[in-house]
C-alpha cells in the first residue's frame, strides 16, 4: 500500500504542475494518414500531438496524446492532453493483438506485463512469461494494480469499448493508450495504426516500412478480383449466447469480403463494429447464402456434426446442407495476432474461398473446409 501511495503522490505533483495557459501554437507538419479514420498526427516544436477520435461519437475526441522526448524536460506550455514520454520504457498490454504489434516493432523487451496471458500466442511473449520477465497482470477487467506499480509500469495499452472505464488503473496517473484500431472500417486502416504505436517506441521508420509492405501486398491481391466476376453471397460467424454478432456493413470484415469478391448479405447493418441479431433474423435473411465463414477457438477442429450438436437449427442454412462452410480455428492458428497487421494474409485466404480458380495452388493460412464428423 505504501508503494501505491508514493506512486499516486508522484503523479499528483506532476498533474498539478501542468500550466493552465491556453495553447495556440500552429503545428509544423501533419502526417498523411491514408486509410485510418481513427487518429491524426500533428508535429510541433517540442512535442507531437496524436488525436484519437471517438469511434462511437464522431463529434468528439476519445483522447489527445502529447508525445514528448523523454530525454528532454517536459515543455512548460503544453495544451490539454495526456502527456506520454517517448520512447516508452515499461508498458503493460491488455490484448494479444497489441502485444503482437509491439513484437513486430521489435520492442517486446519493453513489455513488463500482459493481461489474460492464456490468449497470448506470440512466441516472444510466451517466452517472457515463462522466464518471469513479463508478469501476468490478471484479467483485463480487473488487472493487478499493485503489480503494475511494483513492475514500474509507465504506460498501459488497452482496447477500448463504448462507455467503459478502467477502474483503479485510471487512478495511477500513468497514460492509458486507447487503441481503437479494431473499429476501423478499412482493413488497411486498422493496419495503419502501427504508425501511431511505432511513435511510442521511437520506431516510426520501421512502422512505416511494415505498413508499406502490407499495403502493397494487399492492393496487389485486390487487383486479382475483377468487377465482372460472379460474387458468391456470404455470412459470417455463429451464435454466441442468445445473439449472433454479425459484422456491421462498414466493418473491416465487410470490406474484406468486398475486396475478396463476395456479396456480404448484411452489408446494410450500420456501423463499423458488429451488430447483435436474433438467430431468426439471420436465418430469414441468410438461409440461402452460398458460403458461411466461422471462427472458433477449440483444441480440435470443428465438424458439421459438432456444429449441429451445438445448435441444431444451423442445419437449415443452405451453406450447411451444401457443405460450403469454411472455418478458422483460432486456437490453432495465430489469426488474431496476425491479421490486424497483415490483412493481406486474410485477404488471400478469402479470395481462395470465394474464387479458388484465382489461386489454384494456394494453401490456406486460416480458413479450411469444415469436415464431416
Q: How confident is the model over 284-292, as a mean pLDDT?
A: 99
In a domain, residue 75? The reply is: yes
CA-to-CA distance for 364 and 370, rounded, in angstroms? Answer: 13
Q: Are residues 197 and 277 in the same domain?
A: no
Q: Are residues 202 and 263 in the same domain?
A: no
CA-to-CA distance for 138 and 169, rounded, in angstroms? Answer: 13
Does position 241 have pLDDT exceeding 80, yes or no? yes
Q: What pLDDT is attached to residue 26?
A: 62
The confidence band for 138, taking pLDDT boundaries of 50, 70 and 90, is very high
The confidence band for 157, taking pLDDT boundaries of 50, 70 and 90, is very high
Instruction: Give the other-Cβ count within 10 Å of 101's Cβ.
Output: 26
Contact 174, 92 (CB under 8 A): no
Does position 14 have pLDDT exceeding 90, yes or no? no
Q: Domain count for the chain, please give it.
A: 2
Structural domain containing residue 12: 2-215
Q: What pLDDT is attached to residue 30?
A: 78
Q: Are residues 231 and 261 in the same domain?
A: yes
In a domain, residue 221? The reply is: no
Query: Which cell numbers hold the place of 283?
Result: 436465418
CA-to-CA distance for 52 and 61, rounded, in angstroms? Answer: 6
Average pLDDT, the chain: 92
Query: Which cell numbers hold the place of 146?
Result: 499493485
CA-to-CA distance for 189 and 180, rounded, in angstroms? Answer: 11
Q: Are residues 177 and 33 in the same domain?
A: yes
DSSP 8-state class, residue 47: -
Q: What percent of the chain has pLDDT over 90?
A: 87
Instruction: Give the other-Cβ count within 10 Å of 13's Cβ.
Output: 10
Of 215, 243, 265, the residue that ends a domain is 215
Q: Are residues 161 and 242 in the same domain?
A: no
Of 215, 235, 267, the residue that ends a domain is 215
In a domain, residue 222? The reply is: no
Contact 359, 116 (CB under 8 A): no
pLDDT, one tens digit per residue, over 332-354 is 999 999 999 999 999 999 999 99
Coil, strand or helix at 3: helix
Instruction: Specify the CATH number for the domain of residue 104.
Output: 3.40.50.1980
Q: What pLDDT is attached to residue 24?
A: 52
Of 148, 181, 215, the residue that ends a domain is 215
Amino acid at each position: 500500500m505504501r508503494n501505491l501511495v508514493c506512486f499516486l503522490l508522484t503523479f499528483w505533483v506532476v498533474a498539478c504542475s501542468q500550466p493552465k495557459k491556453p495553447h495556440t501554437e500552429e503545428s509544423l507538419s501533419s502526417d498523411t494518414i491514408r486509410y485510418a479514420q481513427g487518429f491524426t498526427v500533428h508535429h510541433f516544436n517540442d512535442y507531437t500531438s496524436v488525436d484519437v477520435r471517438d469511434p462511437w461519437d464522431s463529434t468528439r475526441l476519445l483522447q489527445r496524446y502529447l508525445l514528448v522526448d523523454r530525454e528532454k524536460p517536459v515543455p512548460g506550455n503544453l495544451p490539454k492532453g495526456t502527456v506520454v514520454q517517448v520512447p516508452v520504457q515499461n508498458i503493460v498490454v491488455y490484448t494479444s493483438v497489441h502485444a503482437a504489434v509491439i513484437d513486430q516493432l521489435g520492442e517486446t523487451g519493453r513489455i513488463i506485463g500482459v493481461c489474460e496471458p492464456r490468449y497470448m500466442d506470440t512466441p516472444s511473449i510466451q517466452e517472457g512469461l515463462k522466464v518471469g520477465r513479463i508478469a501476468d497482470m490478471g484479467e483485463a477487467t480487473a488487472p493487478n494494480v499493485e503489480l503494475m506499480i511494483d513492475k514500474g509500469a509507465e504506460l498501459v495499452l488497452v482496447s477500448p469499448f463504448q462507455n467503459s472505464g478502467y477502474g483503479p488503473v485510471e487512478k495511477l496517473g500513468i497514460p492509458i493508450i486507447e487503441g481503437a484500431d479494431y473499429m476501423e472500417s478499412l482493413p488497411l486502416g486498422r493496419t495503419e495504426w502501427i504508425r501511431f504505436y511505432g511513435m511510442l517506441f521511437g520506431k516510426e521508420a520501421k512502422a512505416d516500412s511494415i505498413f508499406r509492405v502490407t499495403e502493397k501486398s494487399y492492393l496487389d491481391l485486390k487487383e486479382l478480383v475483377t468487377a465482372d466476376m460472379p460474387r458468391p453471397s456470404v455470412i459470417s460467424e455463429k451464435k454466441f449466447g442468445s445473439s449472433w454478432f454479425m459484422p456491421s456493413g462498414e466493418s473491416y470484415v465487410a470490406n474484406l469480403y468486398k475486396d475478396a469478391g463476395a456479396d456480404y448479405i448484411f452489408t446494410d447493418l450500420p456501423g463499423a463494429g458488429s451488430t447483435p441479431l436474433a438467430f431468426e433474423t439471420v436465418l430469414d435473411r441468410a438461409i440461402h447464402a452460398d458460403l458461411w465463414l466461422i471462427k472458433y477457438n477449440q483444441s480440435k477442429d470443428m465438424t458439421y456434426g459438432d456444429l449441429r450438436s451445438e445448435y441444431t437449427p444451423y442445419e437449415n442454412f443452405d451453406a450447411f446442407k451444401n457443405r460450403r462452410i469454411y472455418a478458422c480455428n483460432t486456437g490453432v492458428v495465430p489469426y488474431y495476432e496476425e491479421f490486424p497487421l497483415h490483412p493481406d494474409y486474410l485477404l488471400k485466404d478469402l479470395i481462395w474461398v470465394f474464387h479458388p480458380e484465382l489461386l489454384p495452388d494456394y494453401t490456406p493460412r486460416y480458413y479450411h473446409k469444415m469436415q464431416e464428423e
